[in-house]
Structure 1
Amino acid sequence: MSTPQTAILPEHMTACIVIEANAASTDMAKIKAACRQSLQRLQQHRALQPEAKLGMCIGFGDAVWQSLRQPGEGLDLKPFAPLGKGLAPATQHDIAIHIQSLSHGANMLLALAVLAAFGDSIRPADETHGFRLREERGYDGFVDGTENPEGADRCPIGIIAEPNLDAGGSYLLLQKYRHDLHKWAKITEEQQANVIGRSKHSNEELPSEQRLPTSHLGRVDLKENGQGLKIIRQSLPYGNASGEQGLMFIAYCARLRNIEQQLLSMFGELDGKTDLLLSKISTAISGSYYFVPSQERLADL
C-alpha cells in the first residue's frame, strides 16, 4: 500500500510555504539523500508541534524526474508550456517543496530544516508564503475553492490509485497569480459576480442562464464523458500590504489532464475565449508542473 505525501489531502490549512528550485548538478545522489532527510525532518517537526498539522510534499519537474523515475511512474508529466499567447508564462523548475499547516511559524522551522538538508544540491529560484484570509475568501472578496472535493472524495481525485506502478503519487501545478486590486475595486459587485460566476456574499452559483461562458466558473467547471474534471486545490493568498498581492495556486490531481484542461479553457486554447479574471484582476506570472511520488517512493528514490 502506497502512502501519499502529507500536503495533498488535508483540508482548510491556513498557511503555506512554496519553494521552487533547480538542481545544482546532474548528480542526483545528494538530492536523493536530501529527500530522505527531509522526510525525517518532517516527522521530527510534526512531533514537536502536533497541533500545527504539518504537511509537506516534494515534487520533481520533468527534467529531473526522467533521471529518477522507474518504468511506469509519472508517465503524464511534461514541462509546463506557455498558454494563451503569453498570458500564462512557463517558469518550469526542477524541484518543488510545498509545506502547509495551521502555523506559519511551524512552516518556517520545517522549511529551514529542509533547505539545510538539500544544502548546495539545489538553487532556490522562488519562495512564496501563503496565508488564509477570513472565511476562506481571496483578496477579491469571494470564497476560494468552493468546488474543492471534501472528505472521502478527495483521495480518488488527488491520488493515483493501486495497482498503478506510481500509486500514491500525484501531479502538481504551481502557478502564481498577481492581482490588480485597484482595478478590481472599480467595477461593481454585480460585475464582479459575473466575472466569478458566483454571488459574493452568499457564495451561490449564478443561474446557468445568467452565467457568462467566460466567467471563471464557466471556464473551469468542465465535464468529460459526463464526469467533472475535478482537482484538489491547496491554494492560498500571498503578498505584502504595501506591495504585491495575489494567489498562490496549488493544484494536485491523479491525472495531469484534469489540471491541463482547466488551464487550456482559462487561457483560450480550447475555443479562443479567455477567463474574465485575466482581464479584470489576475495576471499569471509563473507556471510549473511536477510529479509528487508517494512517501515510500520518495524515501527510496
Structure 2
Amino acid sequence: MNHTPQTAIIPDHCTAGIFIEADIVRPQAVQTAVRTALNALKRLQNQFPDNRLGMSIGFGADFWHSLNRPAEGAELKNFTPLGNGLAPATQHDLLIHIQSLNHDNNYTLAQAVLDAFGDALVVRSEEHGFRRHQERGLDGFIDGTENPQETDDIRTVGVIGGDAPDAGGSYAVVQKYRHDLHQWNGFDLAQQEEAVGRSKADDIEFEGEQLHPEAHIARVNLKENGVGLKIVRRSLPFGKVSGEHGLMFIAYCARLHNIEQQLLSMFGDSADQRTDLLLHRLTRAVSGAYYFVPSVERLHNLQNQSTSSTD
C-alpha cells in the first residue's frame, strides 16, 4: 500500500484557503462522499495544473475511532479547553481544508465537496482565508517564518513516515483567532515586537535577553532533548474589515504531541504557567479542534476494520 499525503499538507505559500468543519450525521454515506470529493479535486487539478490546488479531509476522534483502526491515528483525541477557557474546544467530526493560488478554484471545489456529502453532514463553520503582501498577518508581521521550507523537511515534520500503519497521514489542529486590531494598534512598535518576538519590518527573531519569555516566539519555539518540536503551518488571515477578522490557524504534524505542547505553552498550561503576550494584546481563540488526516489511500478505503480485511 502506498502512503500518499493529502494535497493541502505539503504545498506552501498558497494565496487562498477555505476551512470547513462539520458534524457527520449519516456515517454510512461518508466513504462514497470522500471518493466523489477526491474525483472532483483531481478534475480541477487537471483543468488548472498551475494553481496548486490541494485539499485535506480529516476526521475527529469520535468518528475516526468508530472505524476501529486503533493502530492508525493512535494519538488522536478530542480537543479540550486550555488555559481555564482561554482556548475553547469546538470539536467536530470532519475537516475540509482547501488551498490554492486561486480562490475561484477553492470555491468551486468546496461546492463540489459539499454536494458530494449532501445531507450526510451538517456544516458548523466555514471561513475563507487570503494571503497578504509578504505573507504578513493582519497584525503586520510576517507569518510562518518558522515553517520548514524544503519539501523533504515539510514531509518529515508534517507527515507520518516509515512503514507505520498510518504512514502518509497527519494530525491537524484548527483554531480560529479573532483579532482586536484597534487594541493592537494602540501598542507602539516596541510593544508589538515584544509580543511577537521578532522585528516587524525585517522579520529578525529576537534572542537572549531581548526575547521576552512570554513573546509568541518564546512560547512556540520548543525543544525536547535538544530536538525542536516543529509543525507545518498552513494558516491564513480571514474576515471582513468592518466585522470579525483574524487568523485561521491550521497546522499539520506527524505527531499530535508537538502541536499540543505548543498550545499548552501558549495558554499557560505548561510548567512555567506563562501565557502568550499575543493573547493579551492582540487576539483570542474562539474555536479549537484536532483531526486525523489519513493518507489518500486510506481515504479511498475507510471501511471499519471489523467488517473489512482489505487495505
**TM-score normalised over the length of structure 2:** 0.95
> 1:103, 1:284 → 2: CA distance?
27
- Which residue in the other structure is 1:272 paired with? 273
The Cα offsets for residues 173-193 of structure 1, whole Å up to 9 and x where unpaired, read as 000100000000001101100
SS at 2:208's partner residue? coil
How many residue pairs match? The answer is: 299
- Which residue in the other structure is 2:24 paired with? 23
The Cα offsets for residues 201-259 of structure 1, whole Å up to 9 and x where unpaired, read as 01001132211000000100100010000000000000012111100000000000000
- Which residue in the other structure is 2:163 paired with? 163
SS at 1:166's partner residue? coil
- Which residue in the other structure is 1:294 paired with? 295
TM-superposed CA distance for 1:50, in Å, is 1.5
> 2:264, 2:221 → 1: CA distance?
12
- Which residue in the other structure is 2:255 paired with? 255
TM-superposed CA distance for 1:47, in Å, is 1.2
Letter in 2 for 1:110: L
- Which residue in the other structure is 1:172 paired with? 172
- Which residue in the other structure is 2:55 paired with? 56
> 1:82, 1:209 → 2: CA distance?
32
Letter in 1 for 2:102: S
> 2:241, 2:109 → 1: CA distance?
25
Q: Could you list the runs of 5+ residues in structure 2 that have no partner in the other structure?
A: 303-311
Runs of 4+ residues deviating >6 angstroms: none
The Cα offsets for residues 27-48 of structure 1, whole Å up to 9 and x where unpaired, read as x220111011111110011112
- Which residue in the other structure is 1:220 paired with? 220
Alignment of 1:195-210 (within 5 A): 195-210=195-210
> 1:111, 1:5 → 2: CA distance?
16
- Which residue in the other structure is 1:122 paired with? 121
- Which residue in the other structure is 2:90 paired with? 91
> 2:66, 2:116 → 1: CA distance?
20
Identify the range of structure 1 (61-70 vs 178-187) with the bigger mean alpha-carbon deviation.
Answer: 61-70
> 1:69, 1:92 → 2: CA distance?
20
SS at 1:209's partner residue? helix
Alignment of 1:97-136 (within 5 A): 97-136=96-135
> 2:222, 2:158 → 1: CA distance?
17
The Cα offsets for residues 249-286 of structure 1, whole Å up to 9 and x where unpaired, read as 00000000000000000000012110000000011000
Q: CA RMSD in A?
A: 0.8
TM-superposed CA distance for 1:103, in Å, is 0.4
SS at 1:85's partner residue? helix
- Which residue in the other structure is 1:282 paired with? 283
Letter in 2 for 1:12: H
Calculate percent identity across the aligned residue pairs: 57
TM-superposed CA distance for 1:49, in Å, is 1.5
> 2:111, 2:67 → 1: CA distance?
25
Closer/same/farther in 2, CA of residues 69 and 42 from structure 1, 3 Å limit: farther
> 1:289, 1:8 → 2: CA distance?
15
SS at 1:17's partner residue? strand
> 1:205, 1:280 → 2: CA distance?
19
**TM-score normalised over the length of structure 1:** 0.98
